A = this chain, B = another copy of it.
Amino acid sequence: MSDEEIIDGIVKGEIPFRRVEEHTDGDSERATRIRRRAVEIMTGSALDNVGYYSIDAQRSMKAHIENMIGVVQIPMGIVGPIYVRGDYADGEYYVPMSTTEGALIASVSRGCSAIARAGYAKATVFRDGMTRGPVLMAPDAAVATDAADFVVEKFDEIKDIAEETDPFITLLRIDPYVVGRNIFLRFVYDTGDAMGMNMCTIATDESLRFIENQFPSIAHVALSGNMCIDKKPSALNLIEGRGKSVVCDIVLPRDVVEDVFKTTPEAVVDVCYRKCLIGSAQAGSYSFNAHFANMIAAIYLATGQDEAHVVEGSSGFTLAELTDERDLYFSVTIPSLQVGTIGGGTNVETQQEALSIIGVHGAGNPPGSNAKKFAEIISAVVLAGELSLIGAIGARHLSEAHIRLNR
């Protein structure tokens, strides 16, 4: 069929979008163009910019998307150098961020300057484990608790089964939770440099078959029973973590605070206390910070992370404290940072380039080291962004106080 004929079929509702490739001999590039043109006709829109792209549609259509019509272009900016010292990162880094929120990159840059003046930010991945939490249903609670006990007893066997599914996966532990006659099993894995959700799903699926075979009366309900818990805010991930749990901190000398942020350590501490702790507590929030989500979303976008993981990434703590020398101690703690340097969206061309700017594209040596290095660098950028926003608020806080005093 000619392009026109296919387009006509789409417009008439005879060819659904997903069937277009059947008429283009699997040519995704052409199918993309055809769908885009059909959408233009059906909706009266002009999609010139959506159709302007350099990424390989053929490849994207295999792994990342269906019914492709083009791309969205999101501006990418650059921050840095940011000085980070961690167990994996050690040096100065440049970090691309994609956003349409004006002033975000300028603000993070200011935070990077402050870090540079103070030396570097220290970062540590203190916990690491991607999770999958299926739910099973037993005939009654007694069987459910038996199954929970069984999983703990047979951990070594289950571990073997799980790890046979992928050479890069390690089953770290299984935490069982019983609610009535339901059993939730939270499988926790090391997934190397991959974010690892798919690996975890496959490994958990295999493990479950073994468990289910021992308990014929138990029904499989869902491979994800929301005790993973994935792409949803939760106390569980705030407390026990998911993906990388990272902490990053720095002491900013008083003069750096004054010079860069035009405020004092005391004002920063006060803002952080009233806003990030008391305000968030009163709101029943799991995010005791100023705007983690902004930095994490922008880095995730630029580097091909799963954008929906910004949900968990937004959780965590920003703490500002006065040192004995009256300098500013400042830290961010991100318990659930889900990142990878291989697989998923990291394979798209622009995203690959973004990862290569940071120096963390592809598999690390040893495995997992690239993803951990990336997590450390992200935590430092988050710290820079928190410092800068809270510093700016502190500056106003301080200036208003002065105005009042002078009345």
Contact = CB atoms under 8 A, between A and B. Distances in A.
Given A133-B279, A180-B317, A235-B283, 14 more contacts: A13-B81, A47-B353, A49-B54, A60-B100, A70-B75, A135-B279, A137-B274, A140-B251, A224-B393, A225-B274, A232-B289, A234-B235, A239-B282, A277-B277
Contact of A232 (B17, B54, B69, B314): B314
Given A280-B226, A281-B288, A351 B72 contact: yes
A88 interface: no
A394 to B, nearest CB: 9
Interface in A191-232: 212, 216, 219-227, 229-232
Nearest to A52: B54
Interface of A is mostly: mixed
A168 interface: no
Given A73-B73, A289-B232, A39 B357 contact: yes
Interface residues of A, number: 164
Interface string A351-367: 11110111100000000
A122 B141 contact: yes
Given A68-B76, A105-B66, A274-B135, A284 B235 contact: yes
Contact of A43 (B184, B298, B356): B356
Nearest to A287: B232
Contacts of A278: 135, 179-180, 182, 277, 317, 319
Contacts of A94: 39, 42-43
A102 interface: yes
Interface string A146-187: 001000000000000000000000000000011111101000
Q: Give this chain's copy count.
A: 4
A400 B142 CA distance: 22
B227 A279 contact: yes
Contacts of A279: 133, 135, 184, 222, 225-227, 229
A74 B331 CA distance: 33
A350 interface: yes
A45 B353 CA distance: 7
A397 interface: yes
A15 interface: no
A272 to B, nearest CB: 9
B350 A50 contact: yes
Interface stretch (A1-9, A255-263, A300-308): A300-308
A77 interface: yes
Interface string A4-48: 000000000100111000000000000000010001001111111
B235 A184 contact: no
B331 A181 contact: yes
Contact of A247 (B71, B180, B349, B350): B180
A397 B317 CA distance: 23
A287 B352 CA distance: 32
Contacts of A118: none
Nearest to A99: B65
Contact of A231 (B184, B245, B314): B314
A285 interface: yes
A48 B314 CA distance: 31
Q: Which 10 A-B pairs have the closest CB atoms?
A: A233-B233, A235-B284, A235-B235, A100-B345, A226-B279, A232-B287, A180-B331, A293-B308, A45-B356, A234-B285
